Structure 1
Amino acid sequence: MDSQATFIEQLSQSIRTEDFIKLSLGNYRGEEAALKNVYVKLVLIKRVLMLSFTYRYQTRDLTKNYSIEEGLSQLQDLLSVSAFRIATLFTASANVVCEWGKQGKWSIRQEKATAKKPTSRSHDESKERRLQQGSKRYLQELRLTDAEGKVYKNAQDKWKQINHYIEILNGMLVDLPQNEQLQVVDMGSGKGYLTFALYDYLRNVLHRDVAVTGVEYRKDLVDFCNEVAQRADFDQLSFVEGSIDSYEPSHALNVLIALHACDTATDDAIAKGIKNNADLIVVAPCCHKQIRREMEKGKAKNELDFLLKHGIFLERQAEMLTDGLRALIMEYYGYQTKVFQFVSDAHTPKNVLVVGVKKGTNAARQAEIKAKIEESKAYFGIGYHHLEKLLG
């Protein structure tokens, strides 16, 4: 039996003996664009034990669940074509590494166990919430919990959504500059659900010195949120009246957030973040009218124009183009971008999150991006993108 077959057998045995913890595949050399890694774990779905595969791409994750037999077959396929050159099996007793060597064959070695066994494999178990309910004053004031800290039944979806936002942001928040007061702006903060939660999380969970500002054009909501912040003793959280376009921060920005800013207001927010050299920009776009009007006016002739005669396809294409160009423009200014779905489309069709982390760039990369932007605009008959105008 060769090393690869031995590895698959050891994997199968670890599942049978309940020793299995997780599996990872790396050093991808296959042909599928942007695929980086595959992570495998055991999950219990409707009382059936299954292997859950997470395919990690450059800008998204894709999860598929297989029966044990199907999963083992899938792993054999992934390794047999040498698409992945290293596989690590984490068990309670040891880490087993199967690696494709320079001699053109697989080898196996054992290392000291480093992973802890999960307490539950339930796929449907309650997720740990980043924010604890407790007796937090602001949660009561925002009508999310009662006086005892229990989440109201009609607020469960909002509570889950807030925690999901914090979960998504967490990995990026912990990488923000240390040893300085973080400056965070939430553009279009509304009633302040996320603004309060973000301040609470940064201040009381991550223990960061932080000042958070919510920008909202409705004066009644600004007054209400400032009163709640004062009663909650959130002394570095404030709300100001104004639009995204008109707001000018008094300090350098670390984080700029704009959720569901309509049409070009999202561009206003991104431009504000870029001009103020924000370390992290997070936007959830809503409406994409500007680019749709450009496409309707341009009426480009190409091999895809047959799709755009249908209104619903035109709308979807305009959404992808708007956000795709936004990501390219952010990359031009040195941001590493990710675009992904952040809530189920069962809750809202506007569920795309565009994230930019400041990394830096160079002239060659900028020239390449600029050419791609111009090429894309010409192909779809787009005269201009509003974000381009804002940034000159």
Structure 2
Amino acid sequence: MPEPLDTALTEVRALLLDPALTRAVAAGRRRGQRPSVVRAELRPVALKAGTRLQIATSDGDRPFTRNVAPGAEADAAVDALLAEPFGNWHVETVDATVQLRVTKSGEAQVHRARTARTAAEPGGHDRVKEYLLDPGDPIFAEIGGSAAKRRQVDAFLRALAATLPDDLTGPLRVVDLGCGNAYLTFAAYRYLSQRGLDVHLVGVDVRPDQRRRNTDLAARLGWADRVTFVAGTIADAVVDPAPDLVLALHACDTATDEALARSLRWGARWVLAAPCCHHDLAAQLRTRPAPGAYDLLTRQGILRERFADVLTDALRAALLRLHGYRAEVVEFVDSQHTPRNLLIRARRTGAEGTRAQRAEYRDLVDQWGVTPRLETLLAADEG
């Protein structure tokens, strides 16, 4: 429920000046206002002169860091930051996490959670479990909080964190293509907003009932103005303006190709795609003789399907590189949780593929006599 902003900021002030503070981030802006810096991060540091509160700010071009002493100096520095019209505050202490977001009406939407801890380690020391999203976060009461789901969410968020730059600021538009029940969509929004980013996220799914369900859930979480859903296909759903970050998690077979093609059409800065099923190239391999001695790779059905998985994702990554992206294929989650555990992670560089890379790609597809769906989609766009 919304709270008076002054009351919520008083709580934040106490946490910022508490010796138990571990980290705090302020970012974003309130409606119709603009802070003098785009981001501020606070954390305690141990110096020879004693413990200091380190305040790192950025104006969008240059960072500035200063260390203030406890007492009047820290009080004044914290009060000055709290007077800035930041739209979000994320504060972590040894025992608690507080997330404050200023609503359009000027009230505070506050989430409070206890820091998750594991059982005491041998020797009697407590150890804080390193989750990117607190397992006690109320979001898990809505999306499901089994241990397996929390591990999958954490693995996905780590891949997301590794994709985005640490100094990312400003508004971030995200689209999740083929979001389904959207539990990773909501987890992504939660994590990104806790980083102090001004996030707007759109989930796309072909089923109207999923759109209604997910929209209701966003309303219950208090995110209806930031997380929205539309019903439509990956290729044709109306998404405006174009996103900075595209997610496509477990879109089946050529739906992943459609998501990648649309990401390129948008010129998205970052893409995370976890492919699911690779029937298209597997079917093509069944009707073509394997080159040379490679018949042993495709003669057995199970081996042909697994080889098709590898070939499909290798060609997808190669096509992304040819179209101005740095692309990697990495492990998404441990294979004990799902056999579909690869993630294509791409970042736009704007550097078009070299002649050698184009020749390498063409040699591979010609040798196997296949036509990747992504190539067909991109050729249609270029045509």
Could you say whether these structures have the same fold, taking a TM-score greater than 0.5 normalized by the shorter chain as the test? yes
From 369, 376, 381, the equivalent of 1:389 is 376
Give how far 1:249 is off: 2.0
Does the Cα contact within 8 Å between 1:176 and 1:279 map onto a contact in 2? no
Counterpart for residue 360 of structure 2: 372
Counterpart for residue 335 of structure 1: 325
In structure 2, C-alpha distance between the alignment counterparts of 1:244 and 1:226, rounded to whole Å:
18
RMSD: 2.1
In structure 2, C-alpha distance between the alignment counterparts of 1:126 and 1:322, rounded to whole Å:
40
Counterpart for residue 159 of structure 1: 150
Counterpart for residue 112 of structure 1: none
From 215, 220, 223, the equivalent of 1:231 is 220
Structure 2 residue ranges without an equivalent (≥5): 1-119
Q: Normalising to structure 2: TM-score of the pair?
A: 0.63
In structure 1, C-alpha distance between the alignment counterparts of 2:319 and 2:129, rounded to whole Å:
36
The residue type paired with residue 129 of structure 1 is Y
Counterpart for residue 209 of structure 1: 198
* Map 1:240-251 → 2, pairs under 5 A: 240-251=230-241
Describe the superposition over 1:200-243 as per-residue Cα deviations: whole angstroms up to 9, x where unpaired.
1111x211011001111222221111111112111210111112
Counterpart for residue 255 of structure 2: 265
In structure 2, C-alpha distance between the alignment counterparts of 1:367 and 1:126, rounded to whole Å:
50
Does the Cα contact within 8 Å between 1:192 and 1:225 map onto a contact in 2? yes
* Pair 1:133-2:153 in alignment: no
The residue type paired with residue 141 of structure 1 is E
Does the Cα contact within 8 Å between 2:297 and 2:307 map onto a contact in 1? no
In structure 1, C-alpha distance between the alignment counterparts of 2:305 and 2:122, rounded to whole Å:
41
Change (3 A) 1:338 1:350: same
Does the Cα contact within 8 Å between 1:334 and 1:358 map onto a contact in 2? yes
Counterpart for residue 24 of structure 1: none
The residue type paired with residue 174 of structure 1 is P
In structure 1, C-alpha distance between the alignment counterparts of 2:222 and 2:358, rounded to whole Å:
47
Does the Cα contact within 8 Å between 2:263 and 2:271 map onto a contact in 1? yes
In structure 1, C-alpha distance between the alignment counterparts of 2:270 and 2:122, rounded to whole Å:
34
Describe the superposition over 1:361-381 as per-residue Cα deviations: whole angstroms up to 9, x where unpaired.
14xx33222211211012112
Give how far 1:120 is off: 8.0
Counterpart for residue 178 of structure 1: 169
Give how far 1:173 is off: 2.5
In structure 1, C-alpha distance between the alignment counterparts of 2:184 and 2:165, rounded to whole Å:
17
Secondary structure, in 3 states, of the residue corresponding to 2:274? strand
Change (3 A) 1:335 1:262: same
The residue type paired with residue 369 of structure 1 is Q
* Map 1:20-99 → 2, pairs under 5 A: none
* Pair 1:218-2:219 in alignment: no
Secondary structure, in 3 states, of the residue corresponding to 2:293? coil
Secondary structure, in 3 states, of the residue corresponding to 2:351? coil
Identity of aligned residues (%): 34
State the aligned residue count.
256
Counterpart for residue 142 of structure 1: 143
Secondary structure, in 3 states, of the residue corresponding to 1:243? coil
In structure 2, C-alpha distance between the alignment counterparts of 1:120 and 1:237, rounded to whole Å:
39
Does the Cα contact within 8 Å between 2:148 and 2:337 map onto a contact in 1? no
The residue type paired with residue 380 of structure 1 is W
In structure 2, C-alpha distance between the alignment counterparts of 1:301 and 1:133, rounded to whole Å:
50
From 267, 270, 275, the equivalent of 1:285 is 275
Counterpart for residue 159 of structure 2: 168
Counterpart for residue 34 of structure 1: none
Stretch of structure 1 that moved more, 238-247 or 256-265: 238-247
The residue type paired with residue 239 of structure 1 is F
Counterpart for residue 300 of structure 1: 290
The residue type paired with residue 169 of structure 2 is Q
Secondary structure, in 3 states, of the residue corresponding to 2:287? helix
The residue type paired with residue 131 of structure 1 is L
In structure 1, C-alpha distance between the alignment counterparts of 2:164 and 2:279, rounded to whole Å:
31
Structure 1 residue ranges without an equivalent (≥5): 1-118, 145-154
In structure 2, C-alpha distance between the alignment counterparts of 1:121 and 1:282, rounded to whole Å:
39
Give how far 1:298 is off: 2.2
Does the Cα contact within 8 Å between 1:176 and 1:254 map onto a contact in 2? no
Change (3 A) 1:167 1:296: same
Does the Cα contact within 8 Å between 2:232 and 2:238 map onto a contact in 1? no
Stretch of structure 1 that moved more, 188-197 or 262-271: 188-197
The residue type paired with residue 359 of structure 2 is A
Does the Cα contact within 8 Å between 2:177 and 2:234 map onto a contact in 1? yes
**Segments of 4+ moved more than 4 angstroms:** 119-122
Q: Normalising to structure 1: TM-score of the pair?
A: 0.62
Change (3 A) 1:253 1:135: closer
Give how far 1:391 is off: 0.7
In structure 2, C-alpha distance between the alignment counterparts of 1:128 and 1:381, rounded to whole Å:
47
From 356, 364, 373, the equivalent of 2:346 is 356
